[in-house]
Amino acid sequence: MKVLIGLLLVVPLFSERGWQVLTYRGIPAHDVRFSEAGLRVEVRRSAAPVIYPLMPPLVVRSVRARGRIDGSLNVSADRQGEPGFDDYAFRLGLVEVGNRRLGILERRLAPAWVRKLFSLAPRGMGVSQIRFFNVGVEPRQLGRRRQHPLNDLIHEEVVAVPDGDGRFELFVQLESAIETAAIWIATDGDDTRSAYTLIVESIELGGPDEGESTGGTK
């Protein structure tokens, strides 16, 4: 088992305290619950982000998450991520602090989730991107990366797939540490009209080695 060096935070999943559950306009919302068993998301042809702001931001070098998926997405490995099939059972995002900000006109025109993203930045700062680490459906997807075609703020990599019983574990060590303003969990079934249950049992963040600078890419 890979070990998180310099454990920064065990993200609390047993209570809704500190979490923000958002909705997308015109898309059914999830049923989201917190308990001793973890974060439980009932997906019924729905989509919504679940966000845990980090105040102050943390310098993150690695991340681990464990959980399980009861049910499955109605999508193949070949089509997953394409228009009309852009559903993943679990995307774990790190909101990276940066210099990009919304102008006055952009704030007026941007979707609510984009405005929320930029509101997570520390005062006087902006964001760079959301780095999503995804659970795919088949092992041949592992390592697949992309900048999302609909939004250049979103960068994704498939880093895990579920076992036969639906359990998954992902571990990501970045090439260099990044200043992180929030954890952003995305799970969806609206494109593929899927119904399943996601249970996130643990999320842990690891920090950099002593003297390590921030920045860089995975």
Q: What are phi and psi of 112, to 5 degrees?
A: -60, -35
Phi and psi torsions of 107, nearest 5°:
-60, -35
For the entire predicted model, the pTM comes to 0.90
Share of residues in the chain with pLDDT > 70 (%) = 94
Here the tokens at position 33 are 């619950």
Model pLDDT for residues 147-158, shown as the tens digit of each residue: 998 888 899 999
Q: What is the pLDDT of residues 177-217, one digit of tens each?
A: 999 999 999 999 999 999 999 999 999 999 987 656 555 44
Measured distance CA(59)–CA(56) in Å, rounded: 10
Length of the chain: 218
Where do the domains of the chain lie, and which CATH numbers do they carry?
7-206 (2.60.120)
The string of pLDDT tens digits covering residues 85-130 is 999 999 999 999 999 888 888 888 888 888 889 899 888 899 999 9
Q: How many angstroms separate the CA atoms of 9 and 57, rounded?
A: 12
